[in-house]
Amino acid sequence: MLLQIEHDTFYRYDAPLRYTIQTLRLSPKNEPMQQIMRWRIETNQNGFMPQCEDSFGNITHTLAIDRPHDYVSVKVSGEVLTRDTGGVFGFGTETMPVAVYLRETDLTAADAAMTEFAEQLRSGSRGADLSEIELMHRLCEAIADTVAYRIGETHSETSAARAFAQQQGVCQDHAHIFVACARRLGVPARYVSGYMFHDPHGAEGEAAHAWAEAYIPDLGWVGFDPSNRQSPTEAYVRMAVGLDYRGAAPILGLRHGGGEEDLEVKVRISQAHSVNQ
DSSP annotation of 73: E
Q: Distance between CA atoms of 27 and 202, rounded to whole angstroms?
A: 21
- For 104-187, strand residue ranges (E) read 148-149, 168-169
Contact residues for 120 (Cβ-Cβ < 8 A; gap 6+): none
84 assigned to some structural domain: yes
Domain with 53, as residue range(s), is 2-271
Q: Which amino acid is at 5?
A: I
pLDDT for 47: 63
- Categorize the per-residue pLDDT at 200 as very low, low, confident or very high, splitting at 50, 70 and 90: low
| Mean pLDDT score of the chain | 91
Average confidence (pLDDT) over 193-216: 81
Domain presence at residue 276: no
243 CB-near residues (< 8 Å, 6+ apart): 100, 101, 103, 105, 108, 179, 190, 191
Q: What is the mean pLDDT of residues 9-33?
A: 92
**Which residues are CB-contacts of 23 (< 8 A; sequence separation ≥ 6)?**
60, 61, 62, 63, 249, 251, 252, 253
Asked whether residue 87 is domain-assigned, the answer is yes
- Whether 144 maps to a domain, the answer reads yes
Q: What does the pLDDT look like over 143-189, one tens digit per residue?
A: 999 999 999 999 999 999 999 999 999 999 999 999 999 999 999 99
277 within some domain? no
- Taking each helix axis from N to C end, the angle separating 112-119 and 132-146, rounded to the nearest 10 degrees, works out to 130
**Quick check: 168 and 226 in contact, CB under 8 A?**
no
Q: How big is the chain, counted in residues?
A: 277
For residue 277, is pLDDT > 60? no
Contact 135, 217 (CB under 8 A): no
Average pLDDT over residues 19-47: 91
What is the H or E stretch that residue 61 is in?
A: strand 59-65
Q: Which pLDDT band holds residue 199 (cuts at 50, 70, 90)?
A: low
How many CB atoms are closer than 10 A to CB 259?
A: 10
Count of domains forming the chain: 1
Q: Do 251 and 23 touch, CB atoms closer than 8 A?
A: yes
For residue 139, report the phi and psi dihedrals to the nearest 5 degrees.
-60, -45
* Reported confidence tier of residue 31, pLDDT bands at 50, 70, 90: very high
* Predicted local confidence at residue 154, as pLDDT: 94
Question: Model confidence over 62-113: pLDDT tens digits?
Answer: 998 888 888 899 999 999 999 999 999 998 777 889 999 999 999 999 999 9
Residue 44: pLDDT band with limits 50, 70, 90: confident
**pLDDT (tens digit per residue) in 220-239:** 999 999 999 999 999 999 99
* 241 within domain boundaries: yes
| 204 domain residue, yes or no | yes
251-276: average pLDDT: 84
* More reliable by pLDDT, 200 or 77: 77
**Which CATH number characterizes residue 250's domain?**
3.10.620.30
**pLDDT tens for each residue of 106-145:** 999 999 999 999 999 987 665 467 899 999 999 999 999 9
190: Cβ contacts below 8 Å, ≥ 6 apart: 56, 101, 179, 212, 213, 221, 241, 242, 243
71 found inside a domain: yes
The pTM (predicted TM-score) of the whole model is 0.92
